[in-house]
Amino acid sequence: MILFPAIDLKDGQCVRLVHGLMDQATVFNDNPAAQARAFQDAGFSYLHLVDLNGAFEGKPVNAGAVEAILKEIDLPVQLGGGIRDMGTIEAWLEKGVTRIIIGTAAVKNPELVIEACKKYPGRIAVGLDAKDGRVAVEGWAEVSDLTALDMARRFEDAGVAAIIYTDISRDGALQGLNIEATVALAEAISIPVIASGGLASIDDVKELLKTGCKNIEGAISGRALYDGRLDPKEVIALLKEAA
């Protein structure tokens, strides 16, 4: 299982939001590339990046910060936020992003996901961000009528590399992962699932491992790492032991 440290980008800075609200941003580092280097030096194996401004505006906004991160580190990177067309997907893959996360466009233009998976097998993930069980889009500003499972099943045969499942009600709030909903989704589909939203401590990682669900690829951690509630050495050692 992989623990993905998260770098959420807002106005060129590394921040964390609470429940996805842009006006509740805490700045943790004004040098995202240095933060990425710190995560690499700590021993993490994969980085999770989100262009928060891009998610709201529907196009890349923090491209400079993302490019600086890609130049600074050797880790594979998955990137989401404002990626709504094939041109943007291609541009980021050419610049060195390992995996593209499609969120809003997966709901509004599912054909894009199918086309991208055919063209770039193994390099397209879908971000399913749920609010009260319904998928939210446009930087979580709109809630659709679809459930996460409805959405995930649309892409069962498309070749999606992973589903990133975020419980918005827990995101940034350190309330613990929604393990029950994550496992239920992972067991209902064949696409690997990554847990996101609310990871508070190493206990969340232990609980996720205890489920024994083989279809969970990993979990994303943001605020718990920045606050020091999650020790990188301890969690990396735990995951290596469990492998």
Work out the number of other CB atoms within 10 angstroms of the CB of residue 88: 19
Residue 98 is encoded by which pair of tokens?
């390992």
H helices of the chain, where?
32-42, 52-57, 63-72, 86-95, 104-108, 110-119, 148-154, 179-188, 202-210, 223-227, 232-242
Position 214 scores a pLDDT of: 94
Is 8 a residue of the active site? yes
pLDDT along the chain (243 residues), means of 10: 97 84 84 97 98 92 97 98 96 98 92 98 94 73 80 95 88 78 95 94 96 96 94 97 90
Position 144 scores a pLDDT of: 72
Position 143 scores a pLDDT of: 77
pTM of the model: 0.94
d(CA 85, CA 193): 23
For residue 192, how far is the Cα from the chain centroid?
13
Q: Are 110 and 144 in contact (CB under 8 A)?
A: no
Position 92 scores a pLDDT of: 98
DSSP string across 206-238 = HHHHHT--TTEEEEEESHHHHHTSS-HHHHHHH
Position 175 scores a pLDDT of: 78
| Three-class secondary structure assignment of 177-188 | CCHHHHHHHHHH
Is 129 a residue of the active site? yes
Position 172 scores a pLDDT of: 55
Place of tokens 């083989």: 214
Catalytic residue among 51, 129, 167, 171: 129
Q: Are 193 and 215 in contact (CB under 8 A)?
A: yes
